[in-house]
Copies of this chain bind each other. A is one copy, B any other.
Amino acid sequence: MNTIPAFTRAEPDARRASLIAAAAQVLARHGVAGTSVRAIAVQAGVSPGLVGHYFDGIDALIAETYAHVEAQVAAAIDAAVASAGPDPRARLDAFVTASFAPPVASPDLLATWIAFWSLVPSRPAIAGQHDEQYAQFRARVEGLLGDCGLARERQRLAAIAITALVDGLWLELCLSPHAFSAQEAGGIARANLDALLR
């Protein structure tokens, strides 16, 4: 007499969310090579066939997982900015500091980014998603820079520079955490902002 309910119906949105969360965990734990439909299904406690029912192939699931993790990252950064108070420069500093602290700068997120990046060149739809999310991120930086009084015509390039610097430091911090510290990364980024806003 098996009393384990092998069949449990969930709210569609909740099921989608749990599959996305499972995909993020598998990517973090087993890397890109260890991520498959079956591994995700096991992690979610669900039959493998269900993945195909909710997502149009595993690439689509990875793309949605990236979007979800990206949103979490953005939320964590926004929260740090919000708790920094009204001073524009303090908000900018909070932005970069949060970028190099958990849960944003975490090797666990790296595999999700890499899996997504690997799909960009061959999938036009995913390339479009990347462009969109990159533009959103840059727009937030532009806003923070504008609040600090940076002239409008300089905002675009300045935001590109800060975004690239933060991304480069973030990537290196995840790939080899011993080359430099999160504090050093934050110091570099803040010094860069000083120069940019002078």
Contacts and interface: CB of A to CB of B under 8 A. Distances in A.
Interface of A: 31-34, 107, 110-111, 114-115, 117-122, 127, 130-131, 134-135, 138, 157, 160-161, 163-169, 171-172, 175-176, 178-180, 184-185, 187-188, 191-192, 195-196
Nearest to A117: B114
Given A134-B176, A168-B169, 12 more contacts: A31-B122, A32-B118, A111-B118, A127-B176, A157-B180, A160-B179, A160-B185, A164-B165, A164-B169, A164-B172, A165-B168, A195-B196
Given A188-B160, A195-B195, A175 B120 contact: yes
Contacts of A121: 31, 107, 110-111
Contacts of A196: 195
B157 A187 contact: yes
B122 A157 contact: no
A131 B178 contact: yes
Give this chain's copy count. Answer: 2
B122 A118 contact: no
Nearest to A122: B31
B171 A118 contact: no
B179 A168 contact: no
Contact of A118 (B114, B180, B185): B114
A194 to B, nearest CB: 9
A17 to B, nearest CB: 25
B172 A134 contact: yes
A74 B107 CA distance: 27
Given A107-B121, A118-B111, A176-B130, A161 B165 contact: yes
Contact of A166 (B163, B168, B178): B168
A171 B180 contact: no
B176 A131 contact: yes
